[in-house]
Structure 1
Amino acid sequence: MRTRWRARHVLAHQNGRHALLENGEVVWEDDVVTYVGPRYAGTADLDVDLGDSLVLPGLIDLDALTDVDHLVLDSWAPADRAAGLQWSEDYFAHRRRDVFTPEERQTIREYALVQLALHGITTFMPIASEVHSSWAEPYEELVATADFSRNLGLRGYLGPAYRSGVNVATVDGKRTVAFDERRGEEGFADALRFLDHAKELGDPLVNGVLLPCRIETLTEDLMRATAEAARQRDVLVRLHCLQGVLERELILDRYGVTPLEMLKRTGLLGDRLLIPHGQVLDRHPDVHGEDRGDVATLAAAGASVIHCPLTSFRYGHALRSFRDYREAGLNLCLGTDSFPPDLVRGMDVGVHLAKVMDGRADAAPAEWYVEAATLGGARALRRDDLGKLTPGAQADLVAFHVGDLRDGVQDDPIRTFLLSGTAREATHSVVAGQPVLVDGHVPGVDEQDLRRRAQALFEKMRAAYSERDVERREAEELFPPTFPAFQE
């Protein structure tokens, strides 16, 4: 089947880079783009005139929330409540449990994947919180997630998260990691089993990857096993690391090396490695405050950093800096990591955070962030056929309406959209040539029912924090309202 989109603005690809095309057309047959240009001379089975829209290559989110968001609870928490957001040692040793049933966890994932589709994400790699589970992610749950993702039509890079330990709060208010190595081995076995499952499916929309949790929650043996499995099976590894000062201290105390040195020692550092955040390197003010070669080491290894600007900003963090990482040759891609999964807001925040960090207006222009959300993600996935609109590429594309009076006057369509728009303006998306988002909705999804069910599960998750808190404080004390309730 041949389909044609027409739109006021198309971010095409020409001479090895993105290029703006006004009053452009994109044509694809089956799952491959066949034409991008001003006027297609042939006919199409389906014509879609998108009017005042901006058509981009499908957005790639490599740290995509597939859970109920907890940032709304913990991103503002003062120091006296921070411990209540972690497991207590007593909870780890005696009372850990699954807060949700498998059916409820499936609802959570369905809710999250629909959110990705509604925000114009076409390719994703999931991130889920383990705080409300008894350990990590079972194989069966990722099989169900893959099935739902396939039904939606998203392109997923999937695998169950696994870990050997969990961050806990001690009775004296300190943080450490409590280990259960057997559970780590079981989780790794589940991850390998899912790789086999993804291969057996033979569906290009389901790609198996290894998703171990945070580096401080893995044993050295599990890290080595992960690196060896990635080499043998030629799959990607995403590992949250280089993201916090506490992580660095825990790794130094346990192994006598830095997290970056640990990546090298275990064989993880290489072109299969994707690192969310990647902010705490030698240049961080709480480390050395100067460049001693860490960024160059990552770039030389071919690793990718998944920058999550909106989430980092909300927790008070930033890259130091986007320009320096890019100019060092390090591949930068993007993730959302929390709600909303809005890469447009994330790109806008990133552009302006970079100005603050570097003290210059052109620290990281809008086009660099758009490249990270498209071409950077494709490079991280080792997919030359993603992230661009050109003949021969996969037909993954998304349209945003940019004709609303509230968007203001327009200069450059990319800069204006990042400044004035959000991903909620996504109206249509296509993955592998098939529609995912149509007229701002995901066909077959009862959005109001899903919203109602997700809210009930959020309330259940919120209430469960009290049983994990060292002081067993109630949720109302851990998460007080912004203002007192009105009294009648």
Structure 2
Amino acid sequence: MPVTLIRNAELIVAWDASEKRHAYMPDADLAFEDGVIRFVGRGYDGPADTEIDGAGLMVMPGLVNIHSHPSSEPMNKGLLDEIGSTGLYNSSLYEFMPIFRADSEAVPDCVRVALSELLLSGVTTLADLSVAHPGWLDLLAEAGMRVCIAPMFRSARWFTKNGHVVEYEWDEKAGVKAMDEAFTLIQRAEQHPSGRLFGMACPAQIDTCSPELLRDSRAEARARGISWQIHAAQSVVEFHEITRRHGFTPIQWLHEMGLLDEKAIIGHGIFLDDHPSTPWHTDSDLGILAETGTTVAHCPTVFARRGITLKDFGRYRRGGVNLGIGTDTYPHNMLDELRLVAYLARTQAGNPRTMSTTDVFDAATVGGARALGRDDIGRLSPGCRADIVLVDAAHPRMQPRHDPVRSLIYAAGDRAVKDVYVDGEKVVGDGKVLTIDFEQAAAHLAEAQKRVVGNAPNHDWAHRPVDRIAAPTFKWL
């Protein structure tokens, strides 16, 4: 197979196997062949069919995003930026998000817009938590990204009739049927000719799934050796609902059922028993997460919009919890998300030392890889997949670059991402997505949003016009 060599890169964020951590390696080479990294170091003297001049480039591992909703979230741009239900502890889950769902015609464009933004911000592996939709697998394969599909299933739907009480409509048979279909789809993903798709079990939310559905899905995931993710401890409403039903916090209840381990992922995991908004008579949730090896998928942007956040990333990390990062909402910009992780952690802790850039970069690479059960992504080391990001270290936004990864996360962001490779195939070149027509998808999505906005009052419990739900920034003349 042809060998591609990046010769004499200004800097490689290489994996130091002896120390089990990332390390800066200046003036170094990286070679890959057949989608696999063959060499990372200095003085490569092997064959090279294609040679890339590494001058002015920082080479880093592709980022691993463990929680995202590409099929729906891009539709919400400009609508959900500032609203949360006053009667439901400022969450937007129950009253507002359901009324702006993308219609079937818009879903492919939602996906293409989200994946384009993710690729441009250096994401090479994504966990896609979506309701199954036609053509899903081929659409993901088209993008050239490595994707863990997580078809969501549940026993009940939530709704509100008044904006301050959440109700549940149960259909447990439908939940079982959807779970069976999800596992069939996961098998199809693993057999997809692209070779870049794999799967994860995903009962949608802790409060919408019966105990039987949770136990059965966990057992099947364990039998298949795949990860299992659930939204839990994500709202005050949900916390109170689970304590009312079971007498345990969401984390404790999952633990009581034996569902937590090193391949379990809690989507969000904000409202623990010691959170100021949900004080409980115990103080054990953080310890349970750490002792079981459970991962928390931290997605700060969507909650920061409502004045909600984890308390705090550094505390979880010091407590021994494995953390991964996700872009739950728009913009699907992983580098922006990493910046917000750091800033919110420090403000919540009142301490700039609560966490480091090393911590957040680890969460976005090896932490996410661990959650997905992969040791061949999230690091640049011989034998790992050739998922590589080339950053323009000479970009004006990167200057000065005393510490290049800090310059990337806190200053330059996605503007400095030059090229991205997945499995050794270039999917971003010179800051442009090569596999998706991003501009066309964005234009189609803009038209689709007009349809969704026009129909939104029909889905709202109070039939309010959209300008009353999401008031415009300025009056339209």
Query: After TM superposition, is the score higher than 0.5?
Result: yes
Q: 1:73 aligned to 60, 76, 79, which one? A: 79
The match for 1:40 is 44
The match for 1:274 is 265
Q: 1:211 aligned to 177, 180, 202, which one? A: 202
Q: Secondary structure of the residue that 1:36 maps to in structure 2?
A: strand
The match for 1:4 is 5
Instruction: Mark the CA change 1:175 to 1:484 in structure 2 (over 3 Å): closer, same or farther.
Output: same
The match for 2:103 is 100
Query: Mapping of 1:14-53 within 5 angstroms?
Result: 14=16, 15=18, 16-53=20-57
In 1, Cα distance between equivalents of 2:53 and 2:407: 22
Q: Where in structure 2 are there 5+ consecutive unaligned residues?
A: none
Instruction: Mark the CA change 1:41 to 1:323 in structure 2 (over 3 Å): closer, same or farther.
Output: same
What amino acid maps onto 1:224 in structure 2? R
Q: Where in structure 1 are there 5+ consecutive unaligned residues?
A: 129-136
- How far did residue 301 of structure 1 move? 1.0
Query: Mapping of 1:66-465 within 5 angstroms?
Result: 66=70, 67-69=72-74, 70=76, 72-77=78-83, 79=85, 100-101=103-104, 103-128=105-130, 137-138=131-132, 141=134, 144-171=135-162, 173-201=164-192, 204-288=195-279, 292-465=283-456
RMSD of the TM alignment (CA)?
Answer: 2.6
The match for 1:131 is none
In 2, Cα distance between equivalents of 1:390 and 1:99: 40
In 2, Cα distance between equivalents of 1:289 and 1:408: 48
In 1, Cα distance between equivalents of 2:92 and 2:288: 34
Give CA-to-partner distance per residue, 1:6-59, whole Å, 9 cap, x none. Answer: 432210111221111223321111121111123322341111225433221010
Q: Are 1:63 and 2:64 matched, yes or no?
A: no
Give CA-to-partner distance per residue, 1:366-425, whole Å, 9 cap, x none. Answer: 111011101101111121111111112111111222323244422211112221111243
* TM-score between both structures, scaled by the size of structure 2: 0.91
- How far did residue 289 of structure 1 move? 7.7
8 A contact 1:199–1:208 mirrored in 2: yes
What amino acid maps onto 2:13 in structure 1? L
Instruction: Mark the CA change 1:287 to 1:84 in structure 2 (over 3 Å): closer, same or farther.
Output: closer
Q: Which moved more, 1:467-476 or 1:66-75?
A: 66-75
Instruction: Mark the CA change 1:200 to 1:444 in structure 2 (over 3 Å): closer, same or farther.
Output: closer
- How far did residue 81 of structure 1 move? 9.3
8 A contact 1:310–1:349 mirrored in 2: yes
8 A contact 2:272–2:285 mirrored in 1: yes
In 2, Cα distance between equivalents of 1:50 and 1:235: 37
In 1, Cα distance between equivalents of 2:28 and 2:100: 54
8 A contact 2:395–2:416 mirrored in 1: no
Provide runs of 4+ in structure 1 moved above 4 Å.
78-88, 96-99
Give CA-to-partner distance per residue, 1:253-308, whole Å, 9 cap, x none. Answer: 23333211221233321222111211111220122389822111111111111111
Percent identity over paired residues: 28
What amino acid maps onto 1:26 in structure 2? L
8 A contact 2:408–2:416 mirrored in 1: no
Residue correspondences, number? 469
* TM-score between both structures, scaled by the size of structure 1: 0.89
